[in-house]
Amino acid sequence: MLSRRTFVGGVMATTAIAAARPTAIASPVDVAESNVPPNWIDAHVHIWSPDTERYPISSQFSESDMRPKSFTADQLFEHCRSAGVQRVVLIQMSFYQYDHAYMLDAMEANPGVFSGVALIDHRRPDLTKRMKSLAQKGMRGFRLHSRGDAKDWVDDPGMDELWRTAAHEGLAVCPLINPDDIPYVDALCKKHPDTTVVVDHFARIGISGKMERDSLDQLCRLARFPNTHVKTSAFYALGKKRAPYDDLIPMIKQVTEHFGPERLMWASDCPFQVEDGHTYEASIALIRDRIDFLSASDKQWLLKGTAEKVFFA
């Protein structure tokens, strides 16, 4: 089991949304060739407030677990807007567990800027009702977090209901998994081919410091399910874990060859991407500037189009 500080993003759990490409979205080629601002989308960010009286954290956590102490929407904007990122997919922070008050308040205060991915207990008896209620408030997906129990997901009735409801309601399931868990997600995709799936952070391939070839091949096998997507994200935690992250380019190339840019989305995983000497600019620059096999249109998909169709349509 990975520790929280080894891969900070691993303490969160659930999300995302619909996969059909809507006609309302401009073609990435059209956008790439225009002079409009980039309007990129960061597909994975966590925010929280230092005000634990107004926004109390779960009893499973203490305030000492909140590192950094604060990462509010305004703090996020200081990093992302200078990089041309105008919209963000918020992932519920585990400190709050199933209380989404802070995320929902941030979404209400910034209309059109945020989409949301929620946490939910798949064992609750009113699961479908709760999913629909959160969706009405702007949640576009639900995050799964493997804690060594992913093998139990495949035959779990609540998990089956979650995946079926997500497909019916046009929501996404977003697994945060370890490389060993990929076969179980594969089995669920096979059972629920109509469910939109967004695998977080390359399924953490490379967190060991090495690019596990077998695991990467398994991840790429998920491409045979047309509603499955992958986040190219959390560069600070993978491979050599050093900017400019060029050692991750072969992995990005392989997933691009299998999924195509239309099913990949870039994300920072802030605030963890802007800690310990890492920067927001270094993360987005890997996709925007440093990969020669991605065309301008491809980059539009990774930096905007895919997240837009899944989380903002």
Please write the tens of the pLDDT for every residue from 202-245.
999 999 999 999 999 999 999 999 999 999 999 999 999 999 99
CB under 8 Å, gap of 24 or more: what pairs does 151-155 form? Answer: 151/181, 151/184, 153/184, 153/188, 154/184, 154/187, 154/188, 154/191
- The structure's pTM equals 0.89
At 6, which amino acid appears? Answer: T
Per-residue confidence at 32, pLDDT binned at 50, 70, 90?
very low
| Closest to 91 measured CA to CA, from 143, 134, 158, 39 | 143
Instruction: Give the Cα separation of 270 and 208 in Å (integer).
Output: 20
**pLDDT exceeds 70 at position 197:** yes
| Tokens 């519920």 found at | 92
Residue 155: predicted pLDDT = 96
Calculate what percentage of the chain has a pLDDT beyond 90.
87
Calculate what percentage of the chain has a pLDDT beyond 70.
88
